[in-house]
């Protein structure tokens, strides 16, 4: 699978570990940065990740920052993205199954490597359930306000 991953400075370590692990699993991973721990602005990297998924460069996205909150908000500014903040595998599974999430966000200060791997594994292995959820997901891209 083609996966884009991006972070802010607080999550470069977790990002590097996930990039290596995903590569070992055979995924094509685009590391959108940053590469070092210099202070950066999470919206810049959230927007890069959203563009990569929206354009088809990647099938799924993984966004990381200290809490996962800020970067998930940035990713969700793109109307083609449905990024869910997750902290355990059931949320990652349900984000795919019910919401057709095409990106997940996690907080490096809140989620350890083993839990992050479990979330990513659930996210990548779960298909969208379709059916009654299609109507709801469609409304996410076409708000009635």
* pLDDT tens readout for residues 67-111: 999 999 999 999 999 999 999 999 999 999 999 999 999 999 999
Tokens of 73: 């908000």
- Confidence band, pLDDT 50/70/90 cuts, at residue 36: confident
Entry field: residues in the chain: 145
Q: List the structure tokens of 94.
A: 């349900």
* pTM greater than 0.75: yes
With beta carbons less than 8 A apart as the criterion, state whether 127 and 96 touch: yes
pLDDT mean over 126-137 = 89
Q: Which fold has domain 2-141?
A: Ribose 5-phosphate Isomerase B; Chain: A, (3.40.1400)
**Which own/partner pairs from 119-123 qualify as long-range (CB within 8 Å, at least 24 positions apart)?**
119/86, 119/87, 119/88, 119/89, 119/91, 119/92, 120/18, 120/22, 120/62, 120/92, 121/89, 122/89, 122/90, 122/92, 122/93, 122/96, 123/60, 123/62, 123/86, 123/92, 123/93, 123/95, 123/96
Q: What percent of the chain shows pLDDT beyond 70?
A: 97
Q: Which residues are catalytic?
A: 65, 98
Give the residue extent of every domain in the chain.
2-141
């Amino acid at each position: 699978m083609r996966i884009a991953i991006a972070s802010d400075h607080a999550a470069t370590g977790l990002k590097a570990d996930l990039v290596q692990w995903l590569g070992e699993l055979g995924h094509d991973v685009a590391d959108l940065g940053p590469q070092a721990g210099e202070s950066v602005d999470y919206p810049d990297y959230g927007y890069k990740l959203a563009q990569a998924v929206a354009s088809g460069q990647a099938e799924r996205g993984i966004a990381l920052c200290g809490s996962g909150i800020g970067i998930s908000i940035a990713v969700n500014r793109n109307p083609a993205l449905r990024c869910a903040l997750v902290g355990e595998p059931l949320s990652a599974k349900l984000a795919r199954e019910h919401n057709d999430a095409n990106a997940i966000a996690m907080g490096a200060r809140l989620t350890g490597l083993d839990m992050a791997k479990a979330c990513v594994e659930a996210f990548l292995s779960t298909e969208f359930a379709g059916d009654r959820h299609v109507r709801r997901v469609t409304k996410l891209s076409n708000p009635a306000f």
